[in-house]
Amino acid sequence: MAGPWLYVISARSGATFHLQRESIPVSVNSYRDLVASGRLRESRYWGGKRGISHHQQDVEKEDEMFIYTGDRHLGIIGYAKIKGVEERSNGWCVLPEFDLDKCRALLEHPVPAAVVRKWKSSLRPNLIDLAPFVEQLRPLLPW
């Protein structure tokens, strides 16, 4: 198993959550609403506006993916297992399978952005390899 991976979301990115019947602009509030309603599971392809630009060849099925936002200085607010990687019209995408209970726990008790920023100087590309920081990450998780 590779990873775990960090996937960065931000309202400034202009990205959207692609659901079965609609697209919703990415923000902390829309993410929180999608977790609360369970509709986050409808968001099948994660790659942003231009697709995944790093590590798409390194991702393995069942790798862990943590969702991070620097918006409001929150930090890690979500969790999924990766079902696969797929090339689509806008580039490479990961196919996450969200654990809504863990997403809710992380929304309630996020791994602080200040901690994550100490691990990586750049939090711009998706996906970011968290393997070098996994021993520091695990004790901070709320489960």
Q: Give the model confidence (pLDDT) of 15-67 as tens digits.
A: 899 898 899 999 999 999 999 999 999 998 898 777 888 888 999 999 999 99
Top pLDDT among 124 and 56 is at 56
Is the peptide bond between 6 and the residue preceding it cis, with omega within 30 degrees of 0?
A: no
**pLDDT for the residue numbered 29:** 97
Q: Which domains does the chain have, with CATH numbers?
A: 5-132 (3.10.590)
Helices (H) and strands (E) in the chain, counts: 4, 7
CA 13 to chain centre: 14
**pLDDT for the residue numbered 54:** 84
pTM strictly above 0.85: yes
Take residue 7 and report the two structure tokens written for it.
């996937």
pLDDT at residue 95 greater than cutoff 80: yes
pLDDT at residue 77 greater than cutoff 90: yes
- For 60-86, b where at least 16 C-beta lie within 10 A, e where not — what string? eeebbbbbbbbbeebbbbbbbbbeebe
Residues 6+ apart with CB under 8 A from 120: 6, 128, 133
Whether residue 24 contacts residue 47, with contact meaning beta carbons closer than 8 Å, is answered with no
Distance from C-alpha of 101 to C-alpha of 103, rounded to nearest angstrom: 5
Helix, strand, coil % (nearest 5) of the chain? 30, 30, 40
* 52-64 confidence digits (pLDDT tens): 888 889 999 999 9
Percentage of the chain with pLDDT > 90?
A: 76
Please provide the average confidence, as pLDDT, over all residues in the chain. Answer: 93
